[in-house]
Amino acid sequence: MALAHKGLDAEVVPWRFTEAAALRFANYEKVPVLVDGERVLTDSTPIAEYLDDAYPDAPSLFRGAQASLRFTIAWTNSVLHPALVRFIVSDIAPLLSEPACSYFITSREQRFGMKLAEVTADRVERLPEFRAMLLPIRMVLAEQPFLGGAEPDYGDYAVFGAFQWARATSPFALLEHGDLVHAWRERMLDLHGGLARGVPAFD
């Protein structure tokens, strides 16, 4: 989405956690990794910041305020992602082939200290609390169509990334129709010629 926002083409290489060797050149153990000529960038936010710095003539992801968006990004990483995973983690393993599937189950069961089915067992009961947690997003969207204002910025892409991950891996309906956050996610799915809507997903 960030590359599309900047109007940049890229070759997309799928990658699995069990394919550590493929990323050795980047000295990094997970995605995203961006290779731009001689430059190797890792991790979403540094990549997005690099894109604004390296391509200043394309539409900005940060509108000159990279530091100001870091709270939105930190909330996404430390509140939204950990909450989301507890709704969908048991739906992910069945989508994976070996050895990724075994790696995923073992590492996640270790992290949660229980079977993945147990992590999500009470997800219907926890749903109201999750939706209440989205209140700050909802408050912003009551005033403007995107977190970034009239147009999306990297804050939108960061939050949307979490929802897109959930949508691509789980049929569980996290957002209610009629919720401003649901309507915003639909707008995000429409962006850049329906780029994110084109990914295989459950809704």
Contacts to a second copy by CB under 8 A: 62-72, 74-75, 77-79, 135-137, 139-140, 143-144, 146-150, 153, 155
- Distance (Å) of CA 168 to CA 95, 183, 198: 10, 18, 11
Residue type at 152?
P
| Closest distance to a second copy from the beta carbon of 152 (Å) | 10
Which is closer to a second copy, CB of 64 or CB of 178?
64
| Closest distance to a second copy from the beta carbon of 53 (Å) | 15
Which is closer to a second copy, CB of 33 or CB of 69?
69
| Closest distance to a second copy from the beta carbon of 162 (Å) | 13
Q: Put residue 16 in one of left, alpha, beta given phi > 0 → left and psi -120 to 50 → alpha.
A: beta
Measured between alpha carbons, how far is 133 from 47 in angstroms, rounded to an integer?
A: 28
| Closest distance to a second copy from the beta carbon of 134 (Å) | 10
Which is closer to a second copy, CB of 78 or CB of 107?
78
Measured between alpha carbons, how far is 113 from 115 in angstroms, rounded to an integer?
A: 7
| Closest distance to a second copy from the beta carbon of 148 (Å) | 6
* Among 128, 125, 117, 122, residue whose Cα is nearest residue 175: 128
Cβ proximity of 153 and 60 under 8 Å: yes
Cβ proximity of 162 and 81 under 8 Å: yes
Which is closer to a second copy, CB of 76 or CB of 90?
76
Which is closer to a second copy, CB of 73 or CB of 88?
73
